[in-house]
């Protein structure tokens, strides 16, 4: 099974939303606390960016 990494510098983006170009191309297009603003900024650079939340290091999350 191949391991996939969405973001290489996760510590830098802890507690923020991050937009990347795609699942395969993890170039960060924008980041911030407001997901709408992150999406709007990313759409200026890519047609269908991928947006996800990066939890703070050591914080437990239940999905």
Q: What is the mean pLDDT of each run of 10 residues along the chain (63 residues)?
A: 69 92 92 97 95 87 74
Model pLDDT, residue 1: 65
CA distance 57 to 16: 12
Model pLDDT, residue 59: 81
Model pLDDT, residue 4: 63
Instruction: Indicate the domain borders of the chain.
Output: 12-54
Q: Which two tokens stand for residue 1?
A: 């099974």
Residue 30: exposure state from Cβ atoms within 10 A (0-12, 13-18, ≥19)? buried
CA distance 3 to 15: 23
């Amino acid at each position: 099974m191949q391991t996939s990494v969405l973001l290489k510098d996760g510590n830098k983006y802890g507690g923020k939303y991050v937009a990347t170009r795609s699942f395969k191309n993890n170039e960060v297009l924008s980041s911030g606390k407001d997901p709408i603003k992150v999406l709007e900024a990313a759409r200026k650079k890519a047609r269908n960016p991928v947006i996800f939340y990066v939890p703070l290091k050591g914080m437990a999350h239940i999905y």
